[in-house]
A and B are shown apart, each in its own frame.
Chain A
Amino acid sequence: MTETTADTRLLAHTARVATLVAGAALVGMAATEAWQVFARYVLNDSPGWTEPVALFLLATAMSLGAAASVRSWSHFGFFILAHNAPPALRRIMEAFACIVVAAVGAALAIWGSQLLFDGIDIPAAGTLLPESARFLPIAIAGALMCVFAIERLVVPAPKQPAES
């Protein structure tokens, strides 16, 4: 019991860190694009690196934000049938949803890593980042999604309404 609580706390902390990294990526995106405007109009020199960097930050914000949302189960969905199903069926449906999410997370983690390593030696145009860098946040987020979904399967969390 104590171990489960400690694990849950660790995962809550992990989800919080993922959310904050995603938030920091948003701040980075805003700064990168604002720099593009400043450089174009004030320095009269449009830097070429802003777009690939902003897209990498976009992938980071999306992937980690999506992974954190798996833990709070706040992704868009059609949950009304599961909510109104008899308790036994409802538990089966919720477990099934967790298994599907965990499987998708695992697929993103495994194939994302493979795609990351396949293109790691090819530099992206205009930056020092490898061409396949966009798969890094996807692979990490996939692993987190898998872990969070398994956690939900083992320790069902209280329901939260979907956000938009």
Chain B
Amino acid sequence: MAVAILFGVFILLLISGVPVAFSLVCASLATFLYLGLPPIVVVQQVASGAGASSLLAIPLFIFAGEIMLRGGISERLISLAAALVGHVRGGLGQVSVLSSLFFGGVSGSAIADVSAIGGAMIPQMVARGFDRDFAVNVTMTAALVALLVPPSHNLILYSASAGGGISIADLFAAGIIPALLLTVTLMLVGWLIATKRGYAVEAFPGFRVVGRRFVSALPGLLLVALIFIGIRAGIFTAVESASIAVCYALLVTRLIYRQLHWRDFVETMAHAARTTGMILFVIASAGCFGWLLAYLQVPAAAVDALTSITHDKNLLLLMMVFTLLVIGTFMDLAPMIIICTPIFLPVAKAIGVDPVHFGVILILKGGIGLITPPLGSVLFVGTAIGKISITESLRTIWPFYFAAFTVLMIVTFVPALSLWLPSLLR
């Protein structure tokens, strides 16, 4: 009965239009009252939910990403990508995908990625004769790459939701090959569509231009290396690397690029603070919800329920992936990670799936949810930037969607893609 109250009140409030974080607190409060537990504990659990040291990395990476977005790093990365792949068939579409890989590495956020790259690339693509739907769809699906490249704050969130026992360095390493696979697949799809639609090809700017743009974008690219090597080599923790990222981004944008002025900095700070509040308040509220899940032994019940259907590992994995896909279409990525990790991770562990591998599956699958209606936030942002309706986008997005889904299936059933690099670097 308590479990029914917990989930029933949560779902009822959610569909009534109450924000996720407040639905979580209310559902927890109702369950506490039903169980006769003191309701003040809800506030204690909310405070504890945001009290884990590893969570410090999330707002700092968000902040660093905002500084880079407004400080000129993103435009230099796009410029480098344009020099590298602009001459391939579907030129600017390919640039969007490659820019997402580069910029994902510094922002770690799909929304930041689609805003930064879409804002720059979609108008350019349209001006050069690309169809608006292609420009929007290639940019939106490419933004999913950012979720898997270090320093993706979603991977940190997954680690924290799993109780902090999963190495963030391993998760960062695990996302790299799936991200590269997604990049290559999306570029291939972009090339096929561009060929079919007969889009123009740009001239290769020459190696001198490539070299110049590489030098200009180098400080941004170095940051990824700094974070990754720093954590992997044990020089600093994930949290410390996030603070280094903020300081480094400030130095580069202020002293080298000279683009981030005081007014921009204040706005950057304010935007990062609002995003932090939204994400971390869900985490904090879910702390209370998660405590109740554990108290009511829901994860153990989920393991029993799923393993009673079948013991086949692949079938169970497939069932989990499809369940999470359905949940992901109705829930944004951060709340989905926080709520689903404590329920599904024990099931994954019970059937022998490595937690690092499961993390990559969860994030990639959640990313597909971001471009799926009714609640795909990347879909909303991308179509708004491209000035097309969601229906127009969905009419032609399916090849990209199919590509992302195929990569999800490959990553799900070939664990080595996620686990080889972490074991190599360990």
Which A residues have a C-beta under 8 Å from some C-beta of B?
A: 16, 19-20, 22-27, 29-34, 36-37, 51, 54-55, 58-59, 61-69, 72-82, 93-94, 96-97, 100-101, 103-104, 107-108, 111-112, 114-115, 134-135, 138, 161-164
B47-A59 in contact (CB<8A): yes
B17-A96 in contact (CB<8A): yes
Q: Which of A22, A64, A94 contacts B17 (CB 8 A)?
A: A94
Contacts of B384 in A (CB 8 A): 161
Looking at chain B's contact residues, is the secondary structure mostly helix, strand, loop, or mixed? helix
Give Cα A163–Cα B243 distance, bound, in whole angstroms: 23
Q: Is B189 interfacial (CB 8 A cutoff)? A: no
Give Cα A93–Cα B140 distance, bound, in whole angstroms: 31
Contacts of B335 in A (CB 8 A): 76
Q: Is B50 interfacial (CB 8 A cutoff)? A: yes
Q: What's the least CB distance linking B314 to chain A, in Å? A: 32
A64-B278 in contact (CB<8A): no
Looking at chain A's contact residues, is the secondary structure mostly helix, strand, loop, or mixed? helix
Given the known inter-chain contacts A19-B270, A68-B274, A94-B17, please indicate yes or no for A36 contacting B240, CB distance below 8 A.
yes
A-B contacts, CB under 8 A, total: 224
Q: Which of B1-34 contact A (CB under 8 A)?
A: 13-23, 25-26, 29
Give Cα A51–Cα B270 distance, bound, in whole angstroms: 23
Q: What's the least CB distance linking A157 to chain B, in Å? A: 14
B22-A75 in contact (CB<8A): yes
Given the known inter-chain contacts A30-B60, A94-B17, A97-B18, please indicate yes or no for A138 contacting B46, CB distance below 8 A.
yes
Contacts of B29 in A (CB 8 A): 104, 107
B20-A77 in contact (CB<8A): yes
B55-A58 in contact (CB<8A): yes
A66-B380 in contact (CB<8A): no
Output the nearest chain A residue to B281 by Cβ-Cβ distance. Answer: A66
Contacts of A162 in B (CB 8 A): 278, 332, 377, 380
B50-A62 in contact (CB<8A): yes
Given the known inter-chain contacts A20-B270, A26-B272, A134-B51, please indicate yes or no for A76 contacting B19, CB distance below 8 A.
yes
Which one of B36-44, B77-85, B170-178 is at the A interface? Answer: B36-44
Output the nearest chain B residue to A149 by Cβ-Cβ distance. Answer: B22
Contacts of A33 in B (CB 8 A): 56, 60, 239-240, 242-243
Q: Is B138 interfacial (CB 8 A cutoff)? A: no
Contacts of A64 in B (CB 8 A): 273, 277
Contacts of A104 in B (CB 8 A): 22, 25-26, 29
With most chain B CB atoms within 10 A of its CB, the pick from A59, A134, A163 is: A163
- Name the interface size band of chain B: 35 or more
| Cβ contacts A to B, 25 pairs, < 8 Å | A19-B273, A26-B59, A27-B269, A29-B243, A31-B243, A32-B243, A33-B60, A33-B239, A36-B243, A37-B240, A37-B244, A62-B50, A62-B280, A63-B277, A63-B281, A64-B277, A65-B275, A66-B21, A77-B19, A96-B16, A100-B22, A107-B39, A138-B46, A138-B47, A163-B274
A72-B17 in contact (CB<8A): no
B22-A101 in contact (CB<8A): yes
B278-A76 in contact (CB<8A): yes
Q: Is B53 interfacial (CB 8 A cutoff)? A: yes
Give Cα A25–Cα B384 distance, bound, in whole angstroms: 32
B44-A19 in contact (CB<8A): no
Q: Which of A23, A97, A161 contacts B272 (CB 8 A)?
A: A23
Give Cα A37–Cα B269 distance, bound, in whole angstroms: 22
Give Cα A77–Cα B377 distance, bound, in whole angstroms: 11
The 7 A-B pairs at the shortest CB distance, nearest first, are namely A65-B277, A23-B269, A33-B243, A82-B17, A22-B273, A75-B19, A66-B281
Q: What's the least CB distance linking A114 to chain B, in Å? A: 7
Give Cα A149–Cα B84 distance, bound, in whole angstroms: 50
With most chain B CB atoms within 10 A of its CB, the pick from A34, A64, A114 is: A34
Output the nearest chain B residue to A95 by Cβ-Cβ distance. Answer: B17
Q: Is B356 interfacial (CB 8 A cutoff)? A: no
Give Cα A19–Cα B384 distance, bound, in whole angstroms: 25
Contacts of A94 in B (CB 8 A): 17
A79-B109 in contact (CB<8A): no
